[in-house]
Structure formats: C-alpha cells, structure tokens
Chain A
Amino acid sequence: MNLDYTIRYTAKNTYQNETNGALWQFLIIPENNESQELISDDFSNSLNTPVENSVNGYDFRTYRIRPKQSFEEIEFTADFKIIKKVENIFEKVSQEFSEREFEDLKSLEFKAGNDVFLRNTDLTTLHQEVDFKFDKTLSLFENLQNLNSWIKEEFTFKTNVTDIDTDLNHILEIKQGVCQDFTHLFIAIAKQFGIPSRYVSGYLHQGNGYFGDSQMHAWVECCLPDSGWIGFDPTNNLIAAENHIKVAHGKDYTDCPPLKGVVYSSGKNETEYTVQVSSQKQQQQ
C-alpha cells in the first residue's frame, strides 16, 4: 500500500532595512529514494525571481534564488507531491542478537567506509556521561530502540528553550528541547558507541498527533552492519517510516538547514515559515 502526500512549505523573510541583493538556498525538496517518490515540485516567490535548481555539498537537490532588485519583504511557497511506500521496517532489519555484528562495528572496513558519520562535530559531541548504557547482550537494533525510548522518556518536547547552537550539555541539564536537540543527542550517544549516525531533515506527517509542530522535522539514521541505514525518531520514539518524508541528511543540523542565505542588508531580519503535510491513502487501481 502507498500513501499520497502533498506538502506545502511557505516562508516569509522581512528586513528592517531594504536589502540590495540576496541569495537563498532552500534544502526542502523531498528526496527520491527506495521508499518515496517525488511526483512533482513547484516553487515560487513573491518577487517572481527565477528559480535555479542546484545541489548542496551532499548532493541533495536545492532551490536557489537571487533577487537583484531591492526589497524589504519576500515570500516563498513550495508545493510537493510524493508517493510514500508503506512497509514494515521490522521485516527489513536484523533484530537477532549476534556478537559478530558488534565485532563488525569495530572492523576497519566498516569504520573507514562510514567514517564521515562517525566523526565528532561540535553539536554531536558529549562532554559528560549520560545515563543511557548499551547492553551488549541485546542486538544493536534493540539497543537503539531503547535509546529512542530513553530520550522520549527523559526529555520533554518544548519550543523556545533551545536554539540551533545549543550544545548537548545544556540540553542534558534542562532535559527539554525540540527535535533537533533530541536528534543531536541520539547521534552523539550512538556515535560514541561506534554506530555511524546522521542527522536527517524532513517532513513529518502529524495526522497521528506526533510532536514536531508545523515546521520541518529532524530525526536520526544509523548504519548497522547487518541492516544498513535505519531511521529513528527520538522526539516521538518511532522508527522512521511512512510518516517521515526525508529531504536530506548530514553530520548535524549545520549540514542541512532548510534555508541558507547571503543577504546584503543591515539591521534586523526575520524569517517565519510553516509546513503543512496532508495525506490520503492511494486509491486501489
């Protein structure tokens, strides 16, 4: 069975002083992969500046626009249609405990192959002990599921208490945060154990009351020797599946913010954006 999704992303940037030229890069296009197919994408802006299609450093598709006129305000709207496969992740992963999988994790071949996602970054480095411990009698997958629940239980979803630069020390202290923070924490703990982990930016279908407000969502992908990359959503204690529509991944948030810009202006500026995800079951043909 498949799900049809339509996604609308809108953003509005306002500037205190008129700007003279700008360049924005949007990393908001759903990825085409095994479990999701992008049917259509459309992007427009209130200044009618032509849209360029490009890629970011990890080869994910981006939109780029460069208005040449001066302005104080600009609005962007993107519409996507995708088809998401509904599949049972548990059938794909190896849930059996095997000592060999733990050993494989330590093999040079595996470590070198996944080196990028084992590296420490400022946002995914732990400077203190955490209460979560890996259990070497359980499978890696089960351990990660436990980590997922641990974060969900120990931490409270709360907006406006952290921002994109908040480090893990602070999050561990206040035990609150949003999806980015929980994702960074998950990555840090998993990487410390030697599991290659990456930050995923995307859309969450909230039909079932999941946390993540009407913005872009973040979750984790971990690479296990026997199962490959699997998504974990610590904010909702879920395995990323048909409700998670992936846009891009990177080492941490700084590799995949939805919007990056170079703006030639002085004074304050503000960005507001919202995301709407709606779905319907695909009609049987």
Chain B
Amino acid sequence: MKRKDNNPTFESYNRDPKLYDEIFDEHENVRETYKTLFELYSEHSAQDFGRLNNKAKASFFNQGITFQVYGDHEIKEKIFPFDLFPRIIDSEEWEHIEKGVLQRSKALNAFLHDLYHDKNIIKEGIVPLDLISSSENYLDQMNGFDPPGGIYNHISGTDLIKHSDGKYYVLEDNIRCPSGVSYVICNRTALKRALFGVFNHYQAHTVTDYAQNLLEILETVKPKGVDVPNCVVITPGIYNSAYYEHSYLAKAMGVELVEGRDLFVENDFVYMKTINGPEKVDVIYRRIDDQFLDPLEFKPDSAIGVPGLMAAYKQGNVCLVNAPGTGVADDKAIYTYMPEIIKYYLDEEPILNNVSTYHCSRPDELKYVLDNVHNLVIKPVDEAGGYGISIGNRLTQEEIEEVKATIIASPRKYIAQPIMSLSVHPTYIEDKECFEPRHVDLRTFTLLGENKEFVLKGGLTRVALQKGNLIVNSSQGGGSKDTWVLKNNQ
C-alpha cells in the first residue's frame, strides 16, 4: 500500500529520502506495523481529524493538564500539544530498547556508587578526574554514604532517537528528576477517548501500571526497621511547571503530595503535619532539585526545602528518591564515557549506541569542533531543557563566530556531536488540516529498586512541531504522541 492511496490527509506528506520515516519505507510503502492503522485512519476525513484534534485539546485543557509559560507580563497556561497519530514500536524492537536502557541505568547506579566511594574508575584512568572535580553536581555530603538498598538513580529517563540508519541512539540520560511520565498516561487516555476504535486492532501494552510499580520501588528502599513505609511525593508547589505530574503521581500511588512546609525534622526523623498531628515519613520521592532540598546543607535561602532533611537521610531514617548528587553522572560530558562505564561495571557491551562526541576540553577535539561548527550540534554540558543548544547548519557565519567565541571562553562547558537526523513521523498539522512528517524522539522511563526493576512499556514520543526543528523539548514548544509497545505475535 502506498501512502497517498485513498488518503487525502496524506496528500501533502512529502517524504525526505535523507531521513528515516517511521511509517513509510524507502519505496513509499507503509511499513508492516503501521498498515492496519494507516487503513483505519484512511476512513477519516480531514474534517474528522480537525474535530478530534479540537476535542483532544479541550479535554487536556479542562482537566488542567497544562504547564505554565512565563511570558513578559503574565503567566499563561498552555496544554502540551498532543498528536493524534500514535507511534508504534513492535515487540522485538522494544526488547532491544528495554534491555539497553536497563543496562544503562544499572551501569549509572554502579558508577554513582563508585564516585561516592573508592572512585576506582577514576583511579584506573577510565573516566578523567577533571570531569568529576569540576562538576557542580558532585555532593560532598554523599561521600562514603550508602543509600538504602544501594540505589541512587531509582528513576531514570533515557532519551533516544532513531537516526537515518534506522538504529536507535541514546541522546542523554536523565537521572536527577526526569519528568514527562504523566504525559505518557494522559496521551494514552486522550487517544483512547478520541479514537478508541483503533485499539481493537492492536494489542498495545498498558502504561497505567507505572504508578503501581513506582510505589513498589519506593517501598523497596525503605529505611531499616520500617515495616510498611509511609511514602510521599514532595513538590516545589502549584506554580512548578511539572505540578500536574506531581499531583498525578501522588494521586495514582495513593500517597500524600507534600510541600517543604508540610514537613519538619525532629531528632533526625521526618514528619508531616497532618490534621491529626505529626505523622512519620519514610520514603520521599522528591521533585525538588538537590540545591533546594535542605537550607541547612545547600542553598540557605531555599524556601521549598526541609531544614535538617539531609541529616535525617544520612542517619538512615528516611530515603530520598532519587538520591541527592546523581546529577554528577548525567552530565553531558559523562555521557560520552557511557560505553566505557557500561563495560567497566557490567562487563558487557553497550546494547544501545552512543552518539559520538567531541569534548571541547580536549585541545585536539576542540580544534576539530572549531573548524567544523557548521556540521555539529554544540551543547552546553550542564543545561537542561534544550537551552543553549546551537545547531551548526542553521547558523549564519556571524552566529558561528559567536558560538566559537563562547566555546573558546570556556571549553569545559561544551561538547559537540554530529548533527543526528532524528526520524520523522506523521503529525497532524492544525493550520493545514493534514499530516506532515515531523521529527520525533523517545523518552523511556526505567525504575530501579532493591531487587526490583521495571521499564515502562511505552514512553514519551516528543515531536518538534515546527517544520525541520530538531529540538523536541516541551519547554521549547514541542508536542507528544501516544506510544504503543506491541505485545508479541503481531
């Protein structure tokens, strides 16, 4: 079946032969996995999609599944744009991803343990000491400390892309407070509401089991001597852009959603203030950055943290999830050592590819980067959210010179990677009332606990809604798609 057959909404879909298209192969044929879906979608007219699209938008808006955008004068609420065409990953492909992200999470956990204990990987010269000692995310307070269950990165978000060679590459590992999982679940709900019929033809894994698994993971890392731990989620508050997610997770796990001011520490135990007096808290899934956790240990003016929390943690009376200080290992400069890190701790070959990376801190690589800015993506090593990224082939000569000057000023702060061509996926374009190819990536969610692990079968497929844009982050105006992981035998 060819893409334009009987499908008016695909009339203006122009496949770029240089890019990997998730649903059409190089002969313009619909790939096997998408055949049924494509047929089903052909039954709908452009108007149908317009209507469904509006319905889905209204549903998100009314449910208050929004994030806040800070404009010049006021705070605006926006919905995270949702796309009607789901992404499908077959079971074989998924198995590869699942093994790969689990491998990375475990290697990172072992790496963190080492960094906060003997530092063998550094002493053996595999990872340079510089990367650690210049990292602002290394926390002395964690030195020599053993977190409950031996787990640091309980929750990891791994960002993957599919390159033009059809292979998955890891773009980054997020092991501080990775967000986005609530959107995975909302996207599924929204797609079910809008197009429930299509689900009859595919057997996709559920995504709603995430919260239950998260709760079980939290319970495995309870402090010693606690029978049934009292778990909570801590949020910076209702003005945080991820507040919806925090409240969703608390509600779905059936635990309290607390703010710093709801907690206090007494004799190194943590309590929350309830209507019936203080109640002890054992495990805290924290959605507050390290530096704001405890004004006695970190930023003294943090009003969202809990004074004394670190001491309670270090005395083993409460568990923090993720552990403080994980940021040292998800630095973009550390990323480039991931293949070595995996080999060192697990004695395994990396399952997922790393994008090759140039370190501006190394003189010869710096020279290559400066000579080839137009062919590279330049990234600051410690910025989140897609900020500060320059894509070489989009820059004017003047801008290239500016970028060079910035790199020369602080080479340690930048890495460069070849421009990866993210795969494209049909995406409903509102103004044109039709589907067009747009770049997508995939964030997966991995959970590690004591003797328990879980990878969410699904993930957040993020879409760059502007044509040709490669940055898919939600704070940069990206959207997302429901992502189906198929069960076997389809």
Contact = CB atoms under 8 A, between A and B. Distances in A.
A–B direct contact (CB < 8 Å): yes
Interface of A: 23, 25, 52-59, 62, 64, 66, 108-109, 111-113, 115-116, 118-119, 250-251, 255, 260, 262
B315 interface: yes
B410 interface: no
Contacts of B140: 57-58, 116, 250-251, 255
Contacts of B122: 108, 112, 115
A55 B123 contact: no
Given A56-B311, A66-B264, 12 more contacts: A23-B296, A25-B308, A52-B267, A54-B268, A54-B308, A55-B311, A56-B296, A57-B297, A57-B310, A59-B314, A255-B140, A260-B300
Contact of A109 (B123, B300, B310): B123
A7 B141 CA distance: 28
Interface in B282-318: 295-297, 300, 307-308, 310-311, 314-315
A108 B127 CA distance: 11
Given A54-B311, A113-B119, A108 B129 contact: yes
Contact of B141 (A23, A58, A113): A58
7 contacts: A25-B308, A52-B266, A57-B310, A59-B314, A66-B266, A112-B119, A255-B140
A54 B294 CA distance: 14
B133 interface: yes
Q: Is the interface of A mostly helix, strand, loop or mixed?
A: mixed
B129 A111 contact: yes
Given A52-B267, A58-B141, A108-B123, A115 B311 contact: no
A55 B314 contact: yes
State the 4 A-B residue pairs at the shortest beta-carbon distance, nearest first: A57-B141, A112-B122, A112-B119, A54-B311
A111 B130 CA distance: 10
A268 B340 CA distance: 55
Nearest to B266: A52
B203 interface: no
Nearest to A119: B133
B315 A115 contact: no
Q: Which of B119, B295, B311 has the most CB of A within 10 A?
A: B311
B132 interface: yes
A62 B122 CA distance: 33
A133 B149 CA distance: 49
Contacts of B133: 115, 118-119
Contacts of A25: 296, 307-308
A115 B308 contact: no
Nearest to A109: B123
Given A23-B307, A112-B119, A112-B129, A262 B314 contact: no
A199 to B, nearest CB: 12
Contacts of B143: 116
Task: Please tell me the size bucket of the interface on B.
Answer: 20 to 34
A53 B143 CA distance: 21
A76 B143 CA distance: 32
B225 interface: no
A250 B141 CA distance: 10
Contacts of B71: none
B277 interface: no
B195 to A, nearest CB: 52
A251 B139 CA distance: 12
Contact of B129 (A115, A255, A260): A115
A56 B297 CA distance: 7
A250 B297 CA distance: 12
Given A57-B297, A115-B119, A64 B308 contact: yes
A255 B296 CA distance: 10
A53 B133 CA distance: 32
A262 to B, nearest CB: 5
B363 interface: no
B295 A262 contact: yes
Nearest to B136: A119
Contact of B308 (A23, A116, A119): A23
A262 B132 CA distance: 31
A55 B264 CA distance: 16
Contact of A112 (B123, B267, B296, B310): B123
Contacts of A23: 296, 307-308
A66 B264 CA distance: 10
A109 B140 CA distance: 18
A262 B307 contact: yes
Interface string B122-146: 1101000100110000001101000
A243 to B, nearest CB: 28
Nearest to A257: B300
A201 to B, nearest CB: 16
Contacts of A262: 295-296, 300, 307
A236 to B, nearest CB: 28
Nearest to A64: B308
Contacts of B315: 54-55
Contacts of A58: 140-141
B268 A52 contact: yes
Contacts of A108: 122-123, 125, 129
A164 B428 CA distance: 59
Among A54, A59, A116, the most chain B Cβ lie within 10 Å of the Cβ of A54
Interface in B315-363: 315
A119 B140 CA distance: 11
Contacts of B308: 23, 25, 54, 64
A55 B267 CA distance: 10
Contacts of B311: 54-56, 62
B452 to A, nearest CB: 30
A184 B296 CA distance: 22
A251 B136 CA distance: 14
A82 B73 CA distance: 61
A183 to B, nearest CB: 18
A229 B154 CA distance: 37
Contacts of A53: 267
A258 to B, nearest CB: 13
Nearest to B311: A54
Contacts of A109: 123
A53 B300 CA distance: 20
B141 to A, nearest CB: 4
Interface in B451-466: none
Contacts of A66: 264, 266
A262 B300 CA distance: 8
Nearest to A260: B296
Nearest to B145: A59
A66 B266 CA distance: 9
